[in-house]
């Protein structure tokens, strides 16, 4: 492993913590994705569309409010979730036909 310059060594523990948090986020995304697969199956049976605007706005409102209580900028969370939801809707559309 290459030796870090002195001015970066002090960042190493924080970078390791960020890496661990990133891994945990990916694990949570994997769990969410598994649920999405079940949602697709139900939507197929029920004839529901991938894009349900009311649900999207409900999810955004919930995560934004939760972010605020956690000291996370709600604008950041809204932007991330809109991107995530957009991807999931496209994924669902591909599978719903």
Dump pLDDT digits (tens) for 66-93. Answer: 999 999 999 999 999 999 999 999 999 9
Only one residue has tokens 């969370």, namely: 77
Dump pLDDT digits (tens) for 16-66. Answer: 999 999 999 999 999 999 999 999 999 999 999 999 999 999 999 999 999
Is residue 8 very low, low, confident or very high in pLDDT (cuts 50, 70, 90)? confident
Is residue 2 very low, low, confident or very high in pLDDT (cuts 50, 70, 90)? low
- Angle, helices 74-96 vs 53-69, to 10°: value is 150
Domains of the chain, earliest start first:
11-94 (1.20.59.10)
Long-range contacts of 69-76 (CB under 8 A, 24+ apart): none
């Amino acid at each position: 492993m290459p030796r870090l310059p002195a001015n970066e060594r002090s960042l190493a523990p924080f970078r390791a913590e960020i890496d661990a948090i990133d891994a945990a986020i990916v694990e949570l995304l994997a769990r969410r994705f598994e649920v999405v697969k079940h949602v697709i199956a139900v939507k197929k049976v029920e004839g529901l569309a991938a894009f349900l605007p009311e649900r999207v706005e409900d999810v955004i409102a919930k995560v934004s409010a939760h972010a605020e209580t956690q000291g996370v900028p709600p604008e950041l969370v809204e932007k991330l979730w809109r991107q995530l939801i957009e991807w999931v809707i496209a994924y669902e559309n591909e599978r719903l036909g």
